[in-house]
Amino acid sequence: MVLVSHAPRKGKNVLLISTMHNDAKVDAETQKPDIILSYNDTKGGVDVVDRLCANYNCARATKRWPMVMFYAMLNVSTINSQVIHTANNPDTKLLRRNFIENLAMKLIEPHIRDRQNQSNLPRSIKLRLSEILHIND
């Protein structure tokens, strides 16, 4: 994985992160990093991902760059997981919003079950957790 900062002109800075590149090689002819050239060749796909991220964005306002990176990776990972799900289940039509809700529920379900089994948990919270898990007691 590589993170590249490129300044095409004064006052303009471009940050790119890639798992397809291992270093910040620069093209001799254009004097641009290879990662920039790859981006320019595939930016149609990048625009689609940006649009999908904008529609359902998990990011929150923060000045901490690690959190910004985490939110961006979380956004892209939901898109990637939906692409994989659609490829594996071509007959299933699932709206993006519903897919994200189902994904989130599957990720938090083990934690909710562990929490529900704690003996010192108030009954009202246990009942609410049962409602979330759709368990009838």
Supply 90's token pair: 């071509």
Residue 55 DSSP one-character state: H
- If asked whether residues 24 and 10 sit together in one domain, one would say yes
- If asked whether residues 45 and 35 sit together in one domain, one would say yes
Q: How many domains does the chain have?
A: 3
- If asked whether residues 137 and 104 sit together in one domain, one would say yes
- If asked whether residues 46 and 68 sit together in one domain, one would say no
Domain holding 37, by residue range, is 1-55
- If asked whether residues 87 and 104 sit together in one domain, one would say no
- If asked whether residues 21 and 31 sit together in one domain, one would say yes
Residue 1's pLDDT is 86
Q: What is the C-alpha to C-alpha distance for residues 76 and 99, in angstroms, rounded to an integer?
A: 14
Q: What is the C-alpha to C-alpha distance for residues 121 and 123, in angstroms, rounded to an integer?
A: 6
Residue 107's pLDDT is 94
Residue 137's pLDDT is 56
- If asked whether residues 107 and 133 sit together in one domain, one would say yes
CB 32 within 8 A of CB 21: no
- If asked whether residues 48 and 68 sit together in one domain, one would say no
Q: What is the C-alpha to C-alpha distance for residues 2 and 34, in angstroms, rounded to an integer?
A: 11
CB 28 within 8 A of CB 14: no
Residue 30's pLDDT is 84
Q: What is the mean pLDDT of each run of 10 residues along the chain (137 residues)?
A: 84 85 82 84 83 90 93 94 95 92 94 93 93 80
Q: What is the C-alpha to C-alpha distance for residues 6 and 108, in angstroms, rounded to an integer?
A: 38
H-helix or E-strand spanning residue 88 = helix 65-88
H-helix or E-strand spanning residue 3 = strand 2-9
> pTM of this prediction?
0.64
